[in-house]
């Protein structure tokens, strides 16, 4: 059943106003559960992008936002935070409507994350060195960190509200203005969040909202008025953005795909492992880039591990994502389900042992569902162990000793996330240091929003969260000053 909160939108948000789009083209928002349209929004054009960038540029150079005191900007974001909490159920239902996340996960993760992201960045911003004085033997400088300029924030469909906040909050705190481009699959939450930002008192033009297809999105990231692109999505799309931005020396941050490994040591507490993998491998119906989808376990423990994993998945009901009991819902669209099913077929063809799942759930004839799927005895070089599937599919890879486990974990083009499970935490930290990835979780402990997050290799460029998450939105400027002024600053 649908929440019935989804509704059509006929405008884009540009220059502080909800205005008509330049064309009559529309994007249908399709329910992953019913496979039917639940809403429609304008399909933005190049003219809409031009208007949005112009409005953002005007707000950057003529508006009050960049010159506001930091505490004034913080006050608006904190008001936004309170409005999100007031509308949390509406927001959760919209996210479940548009992309199929189980409603409990929408409430507890998808909606909670933006609030926690605001809190973390506000705390960081108050300590961030937006200006400082540096002295040396040959001069003194006032070092300024000024807004980088107009930011294109390109948000994917899988964690739409969370990733919107992840990009918009540090940009706004730094004094930048933003053109926000949500995914066509999940634009409805962005309309609500931007409306709440407007209600919170954000000045006109500081944020602008245009939903667009791939061709118009590429026009946005190549726009000469855009100084910075922040993007989360596939590695293929990230490479294209890097090419475009590199040509014009435009700054960019890319959080891309992952094929993260969970290394389970022989002394690991399997209760802890299973508790962590419930969301660590299957959250959001398997559609999270940081999920642990390569489960690297001692060969001697594989049978026990598989039994425990099977029992855990048995307690994860598959079904209507609006049902509070559901833990695994449908995939976002038919194309994504077809992609996942192709990988499942490839896994069997390449000799992996199918232990569980592999098909469509019985009794769910409508909706883009795939059974939670487990492969065992997976070769580390197999397609399902190397390529990002983005569905509820995991590969269990046996190893003989610690060195082989680390080698398997590092045998990937990706390096976004990972995990180590052991009761010897000192040993766990040493192994985590040897895994070539941006983040490693020890015994399921997350690093939190005060720590930097991002990938190496094909998993991206740059970092988000922590003070490192504000750095990409500022430009450094050094002003040589006389000593007497340095003494006063």
**DSSP per residue, 144-195:** EEEE--EEEEE--SSSHHHHHHHHHHHHHHTT-EEEEE--TTS-HHHHHHHH
pLDDT at position 63, please? 85
Same domain membership, residue 145 and residue 45: yes
Same domain membership, residue 129 and residue 215: yes
Task: Indicate whether 449 belongs to any domain.
Answer: no
Same domain membership, residue 360 and residue 438: yes
Same domain membership, residue 300 and residue 241: no
Q: Could you say which DSSP state residue 447 is in?
A: -
Which structural domain, as residue segments, surrounds residue 69? 12-256+456-478
Of 141, 57, 26, nearest to 482 by C-alpha is 141
pLDDT at position 3, please? 53
Give ∠ CA 387-252-466 in degrees, rounded to 5. 90
Which parts of the chain register pLDDT below 50? 1-2
Task: Indicate whether 373 belongs to any domain.
Answer: yes
Same domain membership, residue 249 and residue 374: no
Tokens of 163: 């990733």
Tokens of 160: 């739409």
Same domain membership, residue 290 and residue 241: no
Tokens of 352: 């992996």
pLDDT at position 203, please? 98
CATH of the domain at 177: 3.40.605.10
For residues 12 and 21, is the Cβ–Cβ distance under 8 A? yes
Q: Answer yes or no: 245 catalytic.
A: no
Each residue's pLDDT tens digit, 259-311: 999 999 999 999 999 999 999 999 999 999 999 999 999 999 999 999 999 99
Residue of 176, 185, 245, 255 with catalytic role: 255
Residue of 98, 176, 289, 371 with catalytic role: 289
Task: Indicate whether 463 belongs to any domain.
Answer: yes
Strands (E) located in 189-291 = 207-209, 228-232, 251-255, 260-264
Same domain membership, residue 211 and residue 291: no
Same domain membership, residue 214 and residue 70: yes
Task: Indicate whether 451 belongs to any domain.
Answer: no
Each residue's pLDDT tens digit, 306-349: 999 999 999 999 999 999 999 999 999 999 999 999 999 999 99
Q: Answer yes or no: 255 catalytic.
A: yes
Distance from C-alpha of 294 to C-alpha of 199, rounded to nearest angstrom: 44
Distance from C-alpha of 410 to C-alpha of 407, rounded to nearest angstrom: 5
For residues 160 and 73, is the Cβ–Cβ distance under 8 A? no
Each residue's pLDDT tens digit, 26-78: 999 999 999 999 999 999 999 999 999 999 999 999 989 999 999 999 999 99
The answer for residues whose C-beta is within 8 angstroms of residue 101's C-beta and 6 or more apart is 95, 110, 284, 285, 321, 329
Same domain membership, residue 435 and residue 363: yes
CATH of the domain at 316: 3.40.309.10
Q: What sections of 439-489 are H helices per DSSP? A: 483-488
pLDDT at position 410, please? 98
Same domain membership, residue 175 and residue 52: yes
pLDDT at position 1, please? 46
Same domain membership, residue 268 and residue 160: no
Of 26, 37, 40, 28, nearest to 2 by C-alpha is 37
According to DSSP, the residues that pair with 26 across neighbouring strands are: 42
Of 347, 361, 350, 252, nearest to 316 by C-alpha is 361
Domain tally for the chain? 2
Same domain membership, residue 289 and residue 207: no
């Amino acid at each position: 059943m649908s929440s019935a909160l989804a509704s059509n939108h006929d405008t884009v948000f540009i220059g502080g106003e909800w205005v008509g789009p330049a064309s009559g083209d529309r994007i249908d928002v399709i329910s992953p559960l019913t496979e039917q349209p639940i809403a429609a929004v304008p399909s933005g054009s190049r003219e809409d992008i031009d208007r949005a960038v112009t409005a953002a540029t005007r707000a950057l150079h003529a508006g009050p936002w960049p010159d506001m005191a930091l505490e004034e900007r913080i006050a608006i974001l904190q008001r936004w935070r309170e409005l999100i909490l007031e509308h949390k159920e509406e927001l959760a239902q919209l996210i479940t409507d548009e992309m199929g996340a189980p409603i409990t996960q929408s409430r507890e993760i998808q909606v909670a994350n933006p609030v926690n992201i605001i809190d973390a960045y506000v705390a960081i911003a108050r300590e961030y060195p937006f200006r400082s004085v540096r002295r040396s033997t040959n001069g003194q400088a006032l070092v300024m960190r000024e807004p980088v300029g107009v930011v294109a924030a390109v948000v994917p469909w899988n964690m739409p509200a969370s990733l919107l906040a992840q990009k918009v909050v540090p940009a706004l705190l730094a004094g930048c203005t933003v053109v926000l481009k949500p995914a066509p699959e999940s634009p409805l939450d962005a309309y609500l969040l931007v409306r709440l930002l407007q209600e919170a008192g954000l000045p006109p033009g500081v944020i602008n909202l245009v939903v667009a297809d791939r061709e118009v999105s590429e026009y946005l990231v190549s726009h000469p008025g855009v100084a910075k692109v922040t993007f989360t999505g596939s590695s293929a799309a990230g490479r294209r953005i890097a090419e475009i931005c590199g040509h014009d020396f435009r700054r960019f941050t890319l959080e891309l795909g992952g094929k993260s490994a969970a290394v389970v040591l022989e002394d690991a507490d399997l209760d802890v492992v299973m508790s962590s993998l419930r969301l660590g491998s299957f959250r959001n119906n398997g559609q999270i880039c940081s999920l642990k989808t390569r489960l690297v376990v001692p060969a001697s423990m594989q049978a026990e591990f598989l039994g425990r994993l099977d029992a855990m998945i048995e307690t994860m009901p598959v079904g209507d994502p609006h049902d509070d009991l559901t833990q695994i819902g449908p995939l976002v669209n038919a194309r994504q389900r077809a992609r996942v099913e192709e990988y499942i077929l490839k896994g069997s063809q390449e000799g992996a042992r199918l232990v569980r799942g592999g098909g469509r759930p019985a009794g769910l004839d409508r909706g883009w569902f795939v059974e939670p799927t487990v492969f065992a005895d997976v070769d580390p070089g197999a397609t399902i162990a190397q390529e990002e599937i983005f569905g509820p599919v995991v590969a269990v890879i046996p190893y003989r000793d610690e060195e082989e486990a680390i080698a398997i974990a590092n045998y990937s083009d990706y390096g976004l996330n990972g995990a180590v499970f052991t009761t010897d935490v000192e040993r766990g930290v040493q192994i985590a240091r040897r895994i070539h990835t941006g983040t490693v979780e020890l015994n399921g402990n997350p690093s939190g929003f005060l720590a930097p997050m991002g990938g190496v290799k094909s998993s991206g460029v740059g970092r988000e969260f922590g003070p490192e998450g504000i750095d990409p939105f500022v430009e450094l400027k050094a002003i040589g000053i006389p000593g007497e002024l340095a003494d006063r600053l």
